[in-house]
Amino acid sequence: MEKFAPMHLAEDWDNVGLLVGDRALPVERVMTCLTVTPETVDEAVQRRADLIVTHHPIPFRPMKRLTTDTIAEGLVWQLARAGISVYSPHTSFDSAKDGINQSLGQRLGVGELESLIPQEDEMQNLGAGRFGRLAEAQTLAQFVDNIKLNLSIESVRVVDGAGGSVHRVAIACGSGGSFLGKAKARGCDTLVTGEATFHTCLESQARGMSLVLLGHFASERFAVETLAELLGASFASLEIWASATERDPLSWM
């Protein structure tokens, strides 16, 4: 994991790496997931996982005690009691050479991908976010249809600030509204991210940029499924799977 998603790529505010567990314990069964929740913990316990590789870290903030008084503390307590370790790559996975943003850009047909905020040698393509261009300009409607097809989602939210045309695209998985200024500086007409605030949507309009909001879950969940496949190919003797019970908590009614 540290070779695939080096920890020095993580943001300063993040909490990545082995967060729960004993490095000396053997591992035979591994589950990947986007987030540690009561459902994913129950699945890991029932299927006797030794390790959870979760995109979103738990614990994220320091815990002064470990009880069942709060949901987060209770989940960590349940995992520890079951002997299940937790590893989180989070923003180091976002920014890795073949990380989430790179994979998301490729799925959406964005070519010539580069880091929005490069780290180290720009030629290594390490750093936060991605930007690139479509082979040919598309209407926003065509671009959105392609997104829904490639991510198997039914709907997205859109701010049409660029007059309905998409050519130069920025990518920021998760909650990526803060990348809007960087995307504009790179000459992008569209930013694709998971979620953004209302005021970021207004800013996108004012800057003459389109904003495509996939939903936080949809912008990242595919990557933990791919990660399970990659880990399975690297460690053929282990049983590795992506959580089957994990669901987006948000739905349209």
- pLDDT exceeds cutoff 90 at 243: yes
- pLDDT exceeds cutoff 90 at 180: yes
Report how far apart, in Å, the C-alpha atoms of 96 and of each of 46, 76, 101, 202, 247 are: 32, 27, 8, 30, 25
What band does 148 get if pLDDT is binned at 50, 70 and 90? very high
pTM to 2 decimal places: 0.91
Residues of the chain with CATH 3.40.1390.30: 17-88+220-242, 94-214
- pLDDT exceeds cutoff 60 at 250: yes
- pLDDT exceeds cutoff 60 at 54: yes
205-225 average pLDDT score: 95
Long-range contacts (CB closer than 8 Å, 24 or more residues apart) made by 57-62: 57/14, 57/15, 57/16, 57/19, 57/86, 57/88, 57/90, 58/19, 58/20, 58/86, 58/88, 59/15, 59/19, 59/20, 60/15, 61/15
Q: Which CATH architecture has domain 17-88+220-242?
A: 3-Layer(aba) Sandwich (3.40)
87-98 average pLDDT score: 94
Q: Which CATH architecture has domain 94-214?
A: 3-Layer(aba) Sandwich (3.40)
* pLDDT in the model for residue 122: 55
- 48 and 111 in contact (C-beta within 8 Å)? no
- The DSSP output letter for 193 is E
